[in-house]
Amino acid sequence: MPEEDAKKEINIVIISDSVGDTAYNNAVAAAAQFPDSKINYRRYPFIYNRERLDKTLAEIKDYPNLVIIYSLVKDEMQIPVIRFARENKVQGVDILSPAVEAIQKVTGTRPAEKIGAQHKVNQKYFDRISAMEFAVMYDDGKNPKGFLEADVVLLGVSRTSKTPLSLFLANKNLKVANLPLVPDTHIPKEIYQIDPQKIIGLTNDPSVLNEIRRQRMISYGLNPDTTYSNMDSINKELAAANELYNKLGCYVINVANRSIEETAALIMRHLGIEEQ
């Protein structure tokens, strides 16, 4: 039975050089035809250069039952995705090229390759773009000032879905900053200056975290039995994180066995925000 249930869980990754709404909406429409499957959506917007694309492909490599749905207008960005899908034996769906090629044949003209041209430009769209850019800029605690400007701040040890959750919430027009909790590192003073209502502490079950980290090391061709995946180390990390959460008095969510959508819904409900 567990093995059968695992086969029903599908990870759909949306890769786009813009916001990714077109690819996401197509993915949701297609997935609606499979009500007995558990669908996890992971969005990677603004993948407009090879550096970001390569980082994304490395991150998703260990996702089981993977389907990639992508909207990338430039050939040089599409080719690595096609190669990745073939080499890793996963399904890849290009949602733009067939329609673009059909129109090109009829018009006899080349496409402009303009990123984001399919979106209606209005204030809501610009707000979403701004929120997405904010999430990318302040991912992984890159700049502490982002914590003071954010609508919500995510804290969590490694592999608690901080980055994909940040991007998912950004698509709801929320400015999100996140901070990885690494053992024995200094917590920026800005964290203690934020309204605790805006801070979300992410945690996980030790056994789940152990398996995720082991699989991540294996996907990189490395020894899975390291300090990173050691159960004693994981328990210490989680204990330190929970101690910080208690000190801050923030809202805590265990992400074990929860999809990004479920965790995001809990956060928005906590913040008193209606889902858009």
Residue 196: its H or E element: none
**Which pLDDT score, from 0 to 100, does residue 126 have?**
62
The CATH number of the domain holding residue 191 is 3.40.50
**Residue pLDDT tens, the chain, 276 long:** 344 444 478 999 999 988 888 888 888 888 888 888 889 999 998 898 999 999 999 999 988 899 999 998 887 888 889 889 989 999 998 887 777 677 777 777 766 555 555 445 456 666 777 888 888 889 989 899 999 999 999 999 998 999 889 988 988 889 999 999 998 889 999 999 999 999 999 999 999 999 988 888 887 788 888 888 899 999 999 999 999 999 999 999 999 989 888 999 999 999 998 765
Q: Is residue 25 part of a domain?
A: yes
Domain extent at residue 24: 2-107
My answer on whether 103 and 127 are in the same domain is no
Question: Tell me, what's the pLDDT at 53?
Answer: 94
CA-to-CA separations, 47 to 10, 133, 202, 218, in angstroms, rounded: 22, 11, 26, 25
- Residue carrying the six token digits 């496409």: 111
Could you give the CA distance from residue 141 to residue 18 in angstroms, rounded to a whole number? 23
Same domain (yes/no): 149, 61: no
Residues 48 and 129 reside in one and the same domain: no
Question: Which pLDDT score, from 0 to 100, does residue 275 have?
Answer: 63
235 and 142 in a single domain? The answer is yes
User: What is the pLDDT at residue 2?
Assistant: 43
Domain holding 52: CATH number? Answer: 3.40.50.10550
Burial class of residue 138 in the structure, from the number of CB atoms within 10 Å of its CB (0-12 exposed, 13-18 middle, 19+ buried): buried
Helix ranges (H only) for the chain are: 2-7, 21-31, 50-60, 75-87, 97-107, 123-137, 145-149, 162-170, 206-219, 231-248, 260-271
Q: Which pTM does this prediction carry?
A: 0.63
- pLDDT the model gives residue 233: 93
Of how many residues is the chain composed? 276
Residues 130, 253 within the same domain: yes
Number of domains observed in the structure of the chain = 2
Residue where a domain terminates, one of 80, 107, 134? 107
- In tens, the pLDDT along 69-110 reads 999 888 788 888 988 998 999 999 888 777 767 777 777 776
Q: Which of 81, 107, 133 is the last residue of a domain?
A: 107
Predicted pLDDT at 114:
57
Handedness of CA 62, 68, 71, 77 (dihedral sign): positive
Whether residues 91 and 187 fall in one domain: no
Please give the pLDDT value at position 203: 97
The pLDDT value recorded for residue 3 is 44
Residues 186 and 218 grouped into a single domain = yes
Q: What is the pLDDT of residue 74?
A: 83
What is the rounded CA–CA span in Å between residue 121 and residue 68? 26
